[in-house]
Amino acid sequence: MESSFFQVDNLSISFGGIKALQDVSFTMDRGEIFSVIGPNGAGKTTLFNCISGLYKPNHGDIRFQGKKVDNEKPDIIAKMGIARTFQNIELFSNMNTMENIMLGRHIHMQTGLFHGMTMWGRSSFAAKDEIQHRKKVEEIIDFLELQNVRDKFVGALPYGTQKLIELGRALALEPTLLLLDEPCAGMNSEEKQDMIFWIKDIQDDLGITILLIEHDMKMVMDISSRVLAINFGKPVTLGIPQEVQQNEEVLKAYIGEGD
Amino acid sequence: MIDFIQMIVSGVATGSTYALMGLAMVIIYKTSEVPNFAQGEMALVTSYFAMMLLTTMNMSVYLAFFLSFVFAAILGAFLEFAVLRRAKEPNVLGMIVITIGIEMIILGFVSWKFGAEQKTMPFPIGPYDGFIIYDIYISKLDVLTLVSALFFMIVLFLFFKFSKLGLAMKATQQNSVAAQIVGIRTNRIMMMTWGISSLVGATAGLLISPTIMHPFMMWDPMLKGFAAAVMGGMTSLPGAVIAAYMLGIIENLFGGYISIEFKTVVAFVIIVLVLCIKPSGLFARHYIKKV
């Protein structure tokens, strides 16, 4: 038990009378792509919000590399190495792409007020720090092919591009665990294909473990090593994609009951 | 002609005070979208604190002012931490009412503790020290106020534009959930914002005190500073400063040529006009939040 990379135990949360999550448990291994599926309102995003510290669960606990994550503040969780994207994009809309991704470097930047004030020339501490982080940001911009929107305000950019920028910002944190909340929502099939490649690259090249929420069954089946299905906040089944796809209850939840 | 130039010079001088108050309000608005109506009284209590250090404890002006700045910063941070952060399910209207409450409490405290009578603060530059260039009288205190206002504007502008903390403050205002998710301690940011803002506002208070001190002394500068901030678009530092100088100059010219009685009213007439013509303010880069 101690050795699991990421572990959720009997997680429950309710809002008033609505039990958004009930006894959700699963473990993740380092390096895998783990997907959570379920119909709208099943509690997938609530699960993410609990993990990233935006909600405080009522019961159960979440452990990341042996450390308790629940009841920590979101910024502490970010520093522990968990980054995320949102289903409804949460960007800094009045800043450009560069600045948005640069904010992802916040936890890694060493420059305090003193060093910032004494930033003279390229050899000063602040300048070195800045150059190093900008280099990292440029790498991410190259990786996600965002060069042409580098200096544009993100509020006016197309939806798909904004999703990518959000992914870029999450990558800038250099996380160990990345939570992706419907990264392909609202994308056309070509953009979806690109996104699938990037997710694979993030897993293979950067060695980041990914927890994924996705509606697109084909995509989930293609890339995930294991799948957890939830419905009405309760876990339905957990297993490899083929098993989950065949599960009676999953089919019922998605397609509806026959009678 | 001399009259005209003299009025403009005095206008710039009053505008500097408005500019400092406007800057202070813009800083808080930039991170929390709350206009802080306690701004004037926070400066007021700092000025009386400086007065206390100078008169009853006989400190040197430099030490007293330094301690007052520290006091102002701590006061701002404390109010954010102890009062505003405690608000349950805060919305902007509730926060505004809280700042008005703080304002009244401080006003009452100052009148009770330090007395409501008029005084002046002992300061190396007296209110009537000045020099004359080409028949135009320039007060040294006004020059100092002008320099402080421009100094703060430039420093704050650079700070918001280029520093890590400044960027984090902007991020907190634009999307506090996303800011937390990338690891920014938004609570800490808010506290610092209030500290910095209080310090800037206190400068205005401290520079008015050598001329006149009474519990209502910050009313006019605060309202005019707020007016300037609104005119400048509420989030633009240079905008607030330019608008503050415009207000100061127009007000003085109006007082000189048209009616001295309605001098203080003219600022608000201008705001109404500006808000009718360009509701987002003169210098705002307006963007619409998606719901």
**Stretch 199-258 of chain A: residues touching chain B, C-beta under 8 Å:** none
* Euclidean distance between CA atoms A234 and A11, whole angstroms: 10
Pick from A109, A170, A96: which is nearest to A140 by CA?
A: A170
Q: Is A173 on the interface with B (CB under 8 A)?
A: yes
**Which 8-state DSSP code applies to residue A18?**
E
Q: Where in chain A is the domain with CATH 3.40.50.300?
A: 1-81+175-259
CATH 3.40.50.300 assigned to A1-81+175-259: yes
Bridge-based pairing state of the strands A82-84 and A177-181: parallel
pLDDT of residue B68: 92
Distance from CA of A233 to the nearest CA of B (A): 23
Pick from B41, B12, B20: which is nearest to B214 by CA?
A: B41
Which of B174, B182, B289 is the closest to A106 by Cβ?
B182
Stretches where chain A sits below pLDDT 70 are: 1-3, 111-122, 255-259
Q: Is A60 on the interface with B (CB under 8 A)?
A: no
A239 DSSP β-pair partners: A227
Residues of A in contact with B161 (CB under 8 A): none
The residue in chain B having the minimum alpha-carbon distance to the alpha carbon of residue A49 is: B181
pLDDT of residue B288: 46
Residues of A in contact with B185 (CB under 8 A): 73, 75
Residues of B in contact with A112 (CB under 8 A): 164
Angle B80-B154-B103 (CA atoms, 0-180°, nearest 5)?
30
pLDDT of residue B290: 40
**What does chain A come to in residues?**
259
CB pairs under 8 A between A and B: 81
A177 DSSP β-pair partners: A82, A209
A209 DSSP β-pair partners: A177
pLDDT of residue A112: 66
Contact at CB, A116 and B164, closer than 8 angstroms: yes
Residues of B in contact with A104 (CB under 8 A): 182
Residues of B in contact with A113 (CB under 8 A): 163, 165
Cα A214 to Cα A170, A254, B132: the distances in Å are 17, 13, 75
Residues of A in contact with B182 (CB under 8 A): 78, 83, 103-104, 106-107, 169, 172-173
Q: Is A180 on the interface with B (CB under 8 A)?
A: no
φ/ψ bin of A43: left (φ > 0), alpha (ψ from -120 to 50), beta (otherwise): left
Distance from CA of B182 to the nearest CA of A (A): 5
Which structure tokens are listed for B170?
């902007």
A18 DSSP β-pair partners: A15
Which of A54, A94, A106 is the closest to B287 by Cβ?
A94
**What does chain B come to in residues?**
291
Give residue-wise pLDDT tens across range A107-127.
888 766 666 666 666 677 778
* Euclidean distance between CA atoms B159 and B278, whole angstroms: 28
Distance from CA of B287 to the nearest CA of A (A): 7
For chain B, list residues whose CB is within 8 angstroms of any CB belonging to chain A: 162-165, 167-168, 170-171, 174-175, 177-186, 285, 287, 289-290
Contact at CB, B289 and A93, closer than 8 angstroms: yes
**How would you write the pLDDT of chain B (291 residues) with one tens digit per residue?**
778 888 888 888 889 999 999 999 988 888 878 888 899 899 999 999 998 888 888 888 888 889 999 999 999 999 889 888 888 777 888 888 889 999 999 988 988 888 878 888 888 877 778 888 888 788 888 888 888 888 988 888 888 887 888 888 888 888 888 888 888 888 888 898 899 999 999 998 888 888 888 888 888 888 889 888 888 888 788 888 988 998 999 988 888 888 778 887 888 888 888 878 877 777 665 544 443
Distance from CA of A1 to the nearest CA of B (A): 28
Contact at CB, A106 and B164, closer than 8 angstroms: yes
* Euclidean distance between CA atoms A223 and B60, whole angstroms: 71
Residue A109 has a CB neighbour count (10 Å cut-off) of 19
Pick the residue of B33, B169, B170, B181 with the most A CBs within 10 A to test the interface with A by mutation.
B181
**Domains of chain B by range and CATH?**
2-277 (1.10.3470)
Contact at CB, A75 and B180, closer than 8 angstroms: yes
pLDDT of residue A120: 67
Q: Are A146 and A157 in contact (CB under 8 A)?
A: no
Contact at CB, A106 and B177, closer than 8 angstroms: no
| Residues A74/A78/A79/A82 CA torsion (nearest 10 deg) | 130
**Which 8-state DSSP code applies to residue B264?**
G
Residues of B in contact with A173 (CB under 8 A): 182-183
Pick the residue of B158, B160, B164 with the most A CBs within 10 A to test the interface with A by mutation.
B164
* Euclidean distance between CA atoms A252 and B79, whole angstroms: 55
* Euclidean distance between CA atoms B143 and B138, whole angstroms: 8
Q: Is A93 on the interface with B (CB under 8 A)?
A: yes
Distance from CA of A47 to the nearest CA of B (A): 15
Pick from B200, B194, B225: which is nearest to B82 by CA?
A: B194
Distance from CA of B176 to the nearest CA of A (A): 9
